[in-house]
Structure 1
Amino acid sequence: MTETPNPNIVDADTLTGEMRPIRRVVIALGSNLGERFATLQGALGALADTPEVWVTGVSPVYESTPVDCPPDAQNFLNAVVLADTTLSAHRLIDRALAIEDAFERERSEVKNAPRTLDVDLIVVGDRRSDTDELRLPHPRAHERAFVLQPWLDVEQDAVLLDRGPIADLLAAIGTDGLTRRDDLVLETE
Structure 2
Amino acid sequence: MNNNPVSQTTEPVSQAFIALGSNLGNPLIQIQQALNELAQLPVTHLVICSSFYCSAPIGRLDQPDFINAVAQIETNLKPYDLLKALLEIERRHGRIRESLNAPRTLDLDILMYDDQQCYEQELILPHPRMHQRAFVLQPLMEIAPDCYIPGYGTVTELLALCTEQRLKRISKQHD
> Structure 2-normalised TM-score?
0.91
Query: Quick one: which of 100, 103, 110 aligns to 2:93?
Result: 103
Residue 148 of structure 1 is matched in structure 2 by 137
Residue 158 of structure 1 is matched in structure 2 by 147
Between the aligned partners of 1:104 and 1:186, the Cα distance in structure 2 is 26
Residue 75 of structure 1 is matched in structure 2 by 65
Between the aligned partners of 1:44 and 1:22, the Cα distance in structure 2 is 19
Asked if the contact 1:41–1:186 (Cα under 8 Å) also holds between the matched residues in 2, the reply is no
Structure 1 position 94 matched with structure 2 position 84? yes
Structure 1 position 48 matched with structure 2 position 14? no
Amino acid in structure 1 at the alignment position of 2:144: E
* Alignment deviations for residues 122-163 of structure 1 (CA, whole Å, 9 cap, x no partner): 001122211121111100000000000000011111111111
Runs of 4+, deviation exceeding 6 Å: none
In structure 2, stretches of 5+ residues that fail to align are: 1-8
Between the aligned partners of 2:62 and 2:57, the Cα distance in structure 1 is 9
Q: 1:159 to 1:151 in 2, by over 3 A?
A: same
Residue 4 of structure 2 is matched in structure 1 by none
Between the aligned partners of 1:148 and 1:187, the Cα distance in structure 2 is 17
**Equivalent residues, number:** 169
Structure 1 position 24 matched with structure 2 position 15? yes
Structure 1 position 180 matched with structure 2 position 169? yes
Asked if the contact 1:25–1:125 (Cα under 8 Å) also holds between the matched residues in 2, the reply is yes
* Alignment deviations for residues 73-109 of structure 1 (CA, whole Å, 9 cap, x no partner): 110000000011111000000001001001000111x
SS of match in other structure, 2:161: helix
In structure 1, stretches of 5+ residues that fail to align are: 1-10, 13-19
SS of match in other structure, 1:21: coil
Q: 1:50 to 1:175 in 2, by over 3 A?
A: farther
Q: Compute the RMSD of aligned alpha carbons.
A: 1.8
The alpha-carbon deviation at position 175 of structure 1 amounts to 6.1
